[in-house]
Amino acid sequence: MIVAQQKPVSEIAQMISDCKKVLFLGCAGCVTVCLAGGEKETDVLASAIRIKRTLESNPLEATTFTCTRQCDPEYIVGIDNLVKDVDAIVSLACGVGVQYLAERFKDKWVVPALDTKFIGGSVVHGLWEEKCGLCGECILHRTGGICPIIRCSKSILNGPCGGSQHGKCEVDKDVDCAWQLIYDRMRALGKLDKLMEIQPIKDWSKSRDGGPRKAIREDVMIDE
Amino acid sequence: MSNLSKLQQVLDSGQFTVTAEIGPPKHSSAEGIRHHAEMMQDYVDATNITDNQTAIVRMSSIAAGVHVLNSGIEPIIQMTCRDRNRIAMQSDLLGAYSLGMRNVLCLSGDHQKFGNHPTAKNVYDVDSMQLIENLRRMRDEKVFFCGEAIKEAEPQFFIGAVANPFADPFEFRVDRLEKKVNAGAQFIQTQCIFDMERFERFMEMVRERGLDQRVHILAGVTPMKSWRAASYMQNNVSGMIVPDELVERLKNAEDPKREGLDICIEQIKYIKEKIKGVHGVHIMAIAWEEVVPEIVEKSGLYPRPKVD
């Protein structure tokens, strides 16, 4: 899932300081799971800013709603009446949701309440880790199911580099060396010989370097 | 080694300036660039050295710049943001200055998709605007991009940037030019001009804002060898506008190369005489460097001024 974290309340408040009526819009997708922009977080954020504004003698009329998903036009269409009278929308979705809103509500100021961090998963309650680099061409079958693109600080494909010590990365002693993990796992699986193949230079055009990407499934498209 | 850019001296003196372009080779011999430099030496005030143009691997612009400098022309090092992060950029800038380079042209660079390594990663750690601003800070505030002091011998580059009046949104191109001037650009070279009418409208807006008083603007021109070359640029090169009349004129010409040169010379004369606020011309004779002396001479821009 997409993992996001809320920006500081003061920063969000600043973005809408000249607005009188604002819709705080949560998303029931990924950001609900990572506890950043679901119904609960949306209500808490709206209350915090409402209180802040009252204390500053600049009252804010804040309404809240949480969409099923902000990254799907069909769920945004339904909120037209909630948006109609507001000066701005504070989106608690990932960057995709913010952009879908800006696209649909052309005359509204739309601001992000979250920093979209990465694609990852939870480790324990309250801790999420980045796991996928979205490179567009998965190589996990060559690296024992551990992604060096995003988990190695240098995205090295034939690691580990000389900065790996005691299983940790030179960048941060709290970061596991992805290549130590790959080595350990390949060794345990008796597949160390696979690591002797020189992995060729990667085709980064399939990643963001090739420009904005599209995924197309013609078989499920509905002709109109 | 002089600290002063010759290009800057000519531009500051108010004389109509001439720059050209030399493309480094796809091999490791400097013979060709030395030849081109020697040939152009008396005809231009400085010459751009492209930086892996169209994302095709070539000799580094800084190394090629040394050969050009040794052959008697002041180089303008092009630096794109595509291939280097901020660490490599600054390191190369220090090195380039130590080797006698005095002018840097900052640009984004063509996407690697168009070159011979389309599967490469692109960098764009810093964009062209930020490069301009930070190059100025290196010189004027004596600091690295990170703000740390450069304790001695800070590079004092004459800073250039590009503008494309033929890209969209048209009006914003002037805003962006202004932004580059605010960032620290001291001279501007434009994209190749074929649509003179649009360039005139662009310059009108530039003058309205007084930008021609704040930055030296060099109008880019390119001689075309054939109607096919013109048609290719018209259809396949983004950010270019080539009017149909030009393609037709080349198509109907008995000697297309001659016609191409004549068109270029006419354009230069027109720009120099009719368009206010233009301080010089930048001749991009792509893979046709040998015609530069003739273009300069026939445009009435020879001899070039001497500066110390």
pLDDT-based confidence at A200, cuts 50/70/90? confident
- Quote the pLDDT of residue B244: 94
Residues of chain B contacting A203 with CB distance shorter than 8 Å = 119
Following CA atoms B256, B259, B264, B268 in sequence, which dihedral angle do they give, to the nearest 10 degrees? 180
- CB-CB neighbors (< 8 A) of B119 in chain A: 201-205
Cβ-defined contact of B121 to A209 (cutoff 8 Å): yes
CATH of range B6-298; options 3.20.20.220, 3.60.20.10, 3.40.30.10, 3.40.1190.20: 3.20.20.220
DSSP state of B24: P
User: Are B112 and A209 within 8 A, CB to CB?
Assistant: yes
Strand order of the β-sheet with A2-6 is: A2-6, A114-124, A127-132
Element (H, E) at A63: strand A61-67
Whether the upstream peptide bond of residue A160 has omega within 30° of 0, thus cis, is: yes
Reported as a single tens digit per residue, the pLDDT across A122-180 is 999 999 999 999 999 999 999 999 999 999 999 999 989 888 989 999 889 999 999 99
One-character DSSP codes across B99-111? TT--EEEEE----
Phi and psi, residue B21, nearest 5°: -140, 135
Which of A137, A204, A206, A213 is most worth mutating to test chain B (most B CB atoms within 10 A of its CB)?
A: A204
Query: CB–CB of A211 and B112 under 8 A?
Result: no
List, in sequence order, every residue forming a beta bridge with B107; answer none if it has no partner.
B80
- Which residues in chain B (105-124) have CB-CB distances under 8 A to chain A? 111-113, 118-122
To 10 degrees, the CA torsion angle through B301, B50, B192, B81?
-140
Contact B121 A201 (CB under 8 A): no
Q: Which residue of A has its CA nearest to B113?
A: A210
Q: Do B119 and A207 touch (CB under 8 A)?
A: no
Which residues of A fall within a CB distance of 8 Å from B111?
211
CB atoms within 10 A of CB B276: 11
User: What element of type H or E holds A101?
Assistant: helix A95-104
Sort out which chain B residues have CB atoms less than 8 A from A210's CB and list them. Answer: 113, 118
Instruction: Give A-chain residues touching B112 at CB under 8 angstroms.
Output: 205, 209
3-state helix, strand, coil in chain A (%, to 5): 35, 25, 45
Give the pLDDT of chain B (308 residues) as one tens digit per residue.
567 899 999 999 999 999 999 999 999 999 999 999 999 999 999 999 999 999 999 999 999 999 999 999 999 999 999 999 999 999 999 999 999 999 999 999 998 998 999 999 999 999 999 999 999 999 999 999 999 999 999 999 999 999 999 998 898 999 999 999 999 999 999 999 999 999 999 999 999 999 999 999 999 999 999 999 999 999 888 888 999 999 999 999 999 999 999 999 999 999 999 999 999 999 999 889 999 999 999 999 999 999 87
* Any A CB within 8 A of B39 CB: no
Number of alpha carbons in the 13 Å side-chain half-sphere of residue A114: 30
CB pairs under 8 A between A and B: 21
Chain A positions touching B122 (Cβ under 8 A) are 204, 209
- B253 in contact with chain A, both atoms CB, cutoff 8 A: no
Which of B122, B123, B124, B238 should be substituted to probe chain A, the one whose Cβ sees the most A Cβ atoms within 10 Å?
A: B122
3-state DSSP assignment of residue B217: strand
Q: What angle is formed at CA B241 by the lines to CA B235 and CA B244, rounded to 5 degrees?
A: 75
Contact A38, A28 (CB under 8 A): yes
The values of phi and psi at residue A97, to 5°, are -60, -45
Side-chain-facing half-sphere of A34: CA atoms under 13 Å: 27
State residue B2's pLDDT score. 64
Q: Which pLDDT score is estimated for B270?
A: 97
Token pair 């932004």 in the structure block, residue:
B179
Region for A117 from its dihedrals, namely left if φ exceeds 0, alpha if ψ lies in -120 to 50, beta otherwise: alpha
Inter-chain residue contact A201 with B119, CB threshold 8 Å: yes
The residue of chain A nearest to residue B83, with distances taken between CA atoms, is A209
The full set of domain ranges for chain B reads 6-298
pLDDT score of A223 more than 80: no
Give the distance from residue A193's alpha carbon to the nearest chain B alpha carbon, in angstroms. 27
DSSP string for B114-138: GSS-TTS----SS-HHHHHHHHHHH
CA dist., res. B42 & res. B57, Å (int): 29
Residues of B in contact with A204 (CB under 8 A): 119-122
Question: Mind telling me how many Å the CA of B123 is from chain A's nearest CA?
Answer: 9
The pLDDT value recorded for residue B1 is 52
Inter-chain CB proximity A204 and B119 less than 8 Å: yes
CB B49 within 8 A of CB B80: no
pLDDT at A224: 66
Spatial separation of the C-alpha atoms in residues B249 and B267, rounded to whole Å:
14
Provide the CB-side half-sphere exposure for A168 (13 A, CA): 7
Q: Measured between CB atoms, which of A201, A202, A209 is closest to B122?
A: A209
Tally of CB atoms within 10 A around A134:
12
CA distance B108 to chain A (A): 14
Question: How many alpha carbons lie under 13 Å from residue A102 in its C-beta half-sphere?
Answer: 13
Q: Tell me the ipTM for this assembly.
A: 0.81
Report how far residue B191's alpha carbon sits from residue B265's, in angstroms, rounded to the nearest whole number. Answer: 17
CATH top class, domain A2-118: alpha beta
Any A CB within 8 A of B228 CB? no
Across the interface, whether the CB atoms of A211 and B111 are under 8 A apart is answered yes
Name the residue ranges covered by the structural domains of chain A. 2-118, 134-209
* pLDDT tens by residue, A74-102: 999 999 999 999 999 999 999 999 999 99
Q: In chain B, which residues have their Cβ closer than 8 Å to the Cβ of A199?
A: none
Residue in chain A closest to B114 (alpha carbons) equals: A210
A210–B113 C-beta distance less than 8 A? yes
Cβ-based interface (< 8 Å): residues of A facing B: 201-205, 207, 209-211
